[in-house]
Amino acid sequence: MAPVNVVTSAGQYPIHIAPGRLQHIADSVPENATRLVVISNPVVDGFYGDMLRQALASLNKPVLTIIVADGESFKSLDTLNIIYDRMLGEKLDRRAVVLALGGGVIGDMAGFAAATYMRGIRYMQIPTTLLAQVDSSVGGKTAVNHPLGKNMIGAFYQPVSVDIDINVLRTLPAREVSAGLAEVIKYGLILDREFFEWCENNVKQLVALDADALAYAIGRCCELKAQVVSEDEKETGLRAILNLGHTFGHAIEAGLGFGTWLHGEAVACGLVQAAVLSGKVLGLPSTDIKRVRALVRAIGCPDIAPDFGESTWLDLMQGDKKTEGGEIRYVLMSAIGKAQVRAAPLKLVQETLSLTVGDIAIDRDFQQGQAMAQNQA
């Protein structure tokens, strides 16, 4: 398919989406790059590192590989310093180019390292998870976590390209596929009712990694995100709607400990909670709330949130980046395909929590087995 172009204040860059794109990655490397820095984790590098380096060999440019631990618990300033130490030790100059080979954690950290090394060098996103392909690799958000909040230390810094190889999804665990599909259906909920309905009708194909279904879904998500980023690059208005489900989802991640649930799993559960709150605040029809819950279940994600206790829940949500003047702001839907950011009365938030949290097992492998069994029943 033709590249999707993202237009920003710094210029524009392409999103290439194709099976086997990794083997043509040299086409995206800036001609004047002096050195290439591949940042990845042990698992992804084991699958695709050699393939990437072989594809880069034709450029005759030195390639440095930096392997760091993956997972939300390692998305930290400590890990970032490991990257800086290697880059500084190798005396990389300002024309070096970083290649982020991995999921959202690697993409965020590598992007932030590029944004801050020598006040900014170029980088490329090569996302290897579905969630990263449809969301975190596009739009230039880079960050690391802090014990007091997720993604609270970061920068808006756009890549020079995003290269999406659909074939790499074949090695993803089923749990990672489910987590990525949460972000896919999010786009339909906030911007495109017809796409949400398409997801409902094609959910089995998506879960089964059908190539045609994936290509369409990834392409449509990238088109929608590119549209939003082009209008609001630094999240001063419209772009905040991309965080549907994230106020609740980030609270789940922080409350359980980063990495206990995958980001997409927490967001999926947050989508259900946001839908329930949308019904109370904006009158989202109960039939649509049921549709959201049903689709979350169909992709194999949790629809019941952990019960931390009301006060803990509210404290965790206070750390959300959309909070203004101490007031928690939520992305809510007046209808499927229409979203807005606004505050919600505390009483309605409390009612929503009472309806959406419960005593649940936090072992997601066990939960996913339950969900899949329900889908097949």
- Residues involved in catalysis: 119, 141, 183, 225, 235, 239, 243, 246, 250, 263
Tell me the three state secondary structure of residue 33: coil
CA dist 176 to 42, 51, 227, 262, Å? 17, 22, 26, 8
User: DSSP of 131-150, one letter per residue?
Assistant: HIIIIITSS-EEEEEETTEE
Q: Which residue has the tokens 């106020």?
A: 247
DSSP label of 327: B
Tell me the three state secondary structure of residue 58: helix
For residue 219 the two structure tokens come to 């392409």
- Would you say 249 and 263 are in contact if contact means Cβ atoms under 8 Å apart? yes
- Would you say 130 and 176 are in contact if contact means Cβ atoms under 8 Å apart? yes
- Would you say 138 and 112 are in contact if contact means Cβ atoms under 8 Å apart? no
Whose CA is closest to 133, among 22, 29, 30? Answer: 22
